[in-house]
Amino acid sequence: MDTARDRWRLLPELIEHQRVRTTPVKSEASATAQRLTFDDGTSVFAKFAHGDQPGYLAAEANGLRWLGEASDAVVPVLYGDDRLLVEPWIEPAEPNRDRALELGREIARMHAAGADRFGAPWRGYIGETFMDNDPAGMRWAEWYAARRIEPYLGPSRDNGALDAADVAAVEALAARLPDLGGPEEPPARTHGDLWWGNVHWGADRAWMIDPAAHGGHRETDLANLRLWGGVPMLGAILAGYAEVSPLADGWEDRIGIHQLFPLLIHTTLFGRPYRGQLMGVVSRFA
């Protein structure tokens, strides 16, 4: 092999011929994840796409590179294409306060790097699920309603997760977002799917992994850190963030607004079990 790129591109062949030791790693259903160990003892983390929409791994690689321009806490990409994503192997460690504080500072630095617009120039995915990164309006509230709420209402109604009254209530809330979304801010460089499962605690730092990166609202990433039980050391993460970039007044009152998108993703993918959590958020703003 002439280049490092060739090495990664030929990984499936090397695995098939048992030139690389493989250890399965738990991952989302849309990809097979493995720890790959070479003869010299070095290891990498690799995801192999399956399914009929393989472009999501290339989108993930694009997002990691873009976020990594602004933060040292974004896991690096060694190789990425439509079928394969390779990253360094980072041995997991227990969370601690120092690493949490630094993660908060790094998230703030990443957000401050900004974006040219809301959305992104690449086709978006959250996991393997479609995510529209096209422009829509001039303000974040308009873009969020058009690109992160409306596209998931039809699928959530069609699969029985939401009924007609639920859809109407979400649409009514979306129409009020310009008045509820807080002060307008320029597009931030956001991770886009920063729940606790996408924070990987290593020995030297906490890493951000598996993004759905785009130009968005910085409060979205912080709201998502509270989802599904919340990230460990959240108070320290927020304290570190505030050291670099204090948030606008009332941001905690808007957390539910920013959680609408991941909750709609879950009603789209998994149906009725997530209706209660989604509509609970909607009812708080009624």
pLDDT band at 20; cut points 50, 70, 90: confident
- What is the pLDDT at residue 118? 97
What three-state secondary structure class fits 24? Answer: strand
- What is the pLDDT at residue 2? 46
φ and ψ at 207, to 5 degrees? -110, 145
Statement: 97-284 belongs to CATH 3.30.420.10: no
pLDDT band at 225; cut points 50, 70, 90: very high
> Could you say which of 3.60.20.10, 3.30.200.20, 1.20.120.80, 3.40.50.300 is the CATH number of the domain covering 4-88?
3.30.200.20
Could you tell me if 229 and 209 are in contact, meaning their C-beta atoms sit under 8 angstroms apart? no
Q: What is the mean pLDDT of residues 215-233?
A: 96
Q: Report the candidate in 85, 120, 140 with the shortest Cα–Cα distance to residue 254.
A: 140
CA distance 145 to 142: 5
User: What does the pLDDT look like over 138-179, one tens digit per residue?
Assistant: 899 999 999 999 999 999 999 999 999 999 999 999 999 999
User: Among the listed ranges 25-29, 96-100, 130-134, 172-176, which one has the minimum average pLDDT value?
Assistant: 25-29
What three-state secondary structure class fits 222? Answer: helix
- What is the pLDDT at residue 1? 43
Token duo for residue 138 = 């001039």
Same fold yes or no, 4-88 and 97-284? no
State the distance between the two ends of the chain, measured CA to CA, in whole angstroms. 61
- DSSP symbols for 52-68: S-THHHHHHHHHHHHHH
Domain-wise residue ranges, the chain: 4-88, 97-284
Pairing of strands 206-208, 199-201: antiparallel
